[in-house]
Amino acid sequence: MILLFSKTSDYRHDSIPAAVAALSRWARGQGIQVEASEDAGCFDAESLARFQAVVWLSTSGRVLDDAQRRAFERFVAAGGAYVGIHAASATELDWPWYAALLGARFTGHPEPQRARVVVEDAAHPATRHLPASWWRSDEWYEFDHNPRTRVRVLLSVDESTYQGAEMRGDHPLAWCQERDGARSFYTALGHAATDYDDPLFLEHLGGGILWSLGAAE
């Protein structure tokens, strides 16, 4: 079972309802049980024990208290998987453990615009179905540092194809890593509600979730 967690205390994306609906349909199609919640009370030992992965779905700001943070740390230490989508990187900005699990923190973005996404890893379940150059519109998140040396980069964005880029030409967008036996997958894509009608994008998310569960390599 996976938990779709979409609590926000800062900017709230209008795409969250569409994302919850689309990922719930996808999970059912995979035979995966899913629960969607914005209740941080799910983050205790008893509740988290029901899940194999927690998907932080465009969460934002401070969403857990200290006890709930500790419970999630224990969940991951026991092998529970983390999946972050879009604004998950703008969440719990004062929690160093979460930043390390995520890979890099959101710092800002230019106006949404069209740009070229580059597939860097054509073997991963989240990217092997994608064209080598994938043109799409999004917010093109900037991060506090380049995580490339510590994660497996799956997608990057070609900064020459849009205005306002600040990552100095090397701009990862989606990546994964394994930490202490647990898997972490993050994608910065997913700003607009229409993204969740896109079969290529849904397969990107689904592949990331399946990888995090160890169900696809």
Q: How many residues does the chain have?
A: 217
Say what the pLDDT of residue 82 is.
98
Say what the pLDDT of residue 165 is.
95
Q: Which residue carries 């900017």 as its tokens?
A: 11
Say what the pLDDT of residue 180 is.
76
Minimal CA–CA distance to 5: which of 77, 91, 94? 91
Beta partners for residue 119, in sequence order: 155
Whole-angstrom Cα distance, residue 101 to residue 186? Answer: 10
Say what the pLDDT of residue 179 is.
84
Does the predicted model carry a pTM greater than 0.75?
A: yes
pLDDT tens-place values along the chain, 217 residues long: 999 999 999 999 999 999 999 999 999 999 999 999 999 999 999 999 999 999 999 999 999 999 999 999 999 999 999 999 999 999 999 999 999 999 999 999 999 999 999 999 999 999 999 999 999 999 999 999 999 999 999 999 999 999 999 999 999 999 999 987 889 999 999 999 999 999 999 999 999 999 999 987 7
Structural domains of the chain, with CATH: 2-212 (3.40.50.880)
Cα 148–Cα 146–Cα 59 angle in degrees, nearest 5: 100
Per-residue b or e along 133-146, where b marks 16 or more CB atoms closer than 10 Å to that residue's CB: ebeeebbbbbbeeb
Say what the pLDDT of residue 46 is.
97
- Helices 199-212, 16-29: crossing angle, 10 deg rounding: 60
Say what the pLDDT of residue 33 is.
97
Whole-angstrom Cα distance, residue 121 to residue 153? Answer: 7
- Helices (DSSP H) in 78-166: which residue ranges? 96-102
Q: What is the DSSP letter of 33?
A: -
